[in-house]
Amino acid sequence: MKFDVLTLFPGMLRGPLQESILKKAQERGLLTVRLHDLREFASGPHRQVDDSPYGGGNGMVLMPGPIFDAVEAVVTGYPAPRSRTILLSPQGRRFDQSSARELVARFDRLILICGRYEGVDERVREFLVDEEISIGDYVLTGGEPAALVIIDALARLIPGVLGSTQSAEEDSFTEGILEYPHYTRPARFRGHDVPEILLSGNHGEIERWRRGKAVENTLKKRPDLLKDVVKVGED
């Protein structure tokens, strides 16, 4: 899968993209991430990308010109049969595991626009992007952390990125509930033992124990998720 990220601060993404699973996925050709500095698409000697808002108000607004030009350059320079342009914005639909699965299934390339300052010119929303996505109800300095969240979440769903497809299938939220508890060596640590069932070798019983613990974990920490699971089961 391919990602083209439009940002004023590409350095905020370079470091994380060169670590761990994301780095390996890129090296193996399973993932492509191109970073595009919006200032390179700005005109004038100062490469201005923002200006004060019409009608007054605090802060600065990203101008439409550099963003439109950047998206058009990406679309022309890097054709993709199934592409989607997304503005990362607190006004967008909430990103979750279901969103991640949908985006991986439907698109070959995502163009992610990282907002900044007081936001972007409204004409970007109205006439350029396909949709807006938010990673949560809180305020970030810009869209760069959100872009990394989306890239990481989608990368895990790309076949071959993880060592085992089962790893992605068993993650929290994949089935609408949280994950079961994990244990590893030593079997006893500071007087605390690993549950005996996990040492039994009875895989059927272990699976039932894990499922029960996952439901218990969800009921304790995120009971709202169980309501969603019940609704899905009733449909």
Instruction: Confirm whether 84 is a catalytic residue.
Output: no
Which DSSP symbol is given to 178?
P
The torsion angles phi and psi of 153, rounded to 5 degrees, stand at -65, -40
Instruction: Confirm whether 90 is a catalytic residue.
Output: yes
Which DSSP symbol is given to 12?
H
What Cα–Cα distance (Å) separates residue 50 from each residue in 30, 59, 65, 74, 143? 35, 10, 10, 21, 15
Pick the catalytic residue from 16, 53, 64, 90.
Answer: 90
Pick the catalytic residue from 4, 109, 121, 156.
Answer: 156
Can you tell me the distance from the alpha carbon of 1 to that of 31, in angstroms, rounded to the nearest whole number? 5
Pick the catalytic residue from 171, 175, 179, 216.
Answer: 171
Strands (E), 95-216: 109-114, 131-134, 188-189, 192-193
- Which residues sit opposite 110 in a β-bridge? 3, 84
Pick the catalytic residue from 118, 152, 175, 179.
Answer: 118
Instruction: Confirm whether 118 is a catalytic residue.
Output: yes
- State yes or no: cis peptide before 64, omega within 30 of 0: no
Give catalytic residues, as residue numbers.
90, 118, 156, 171
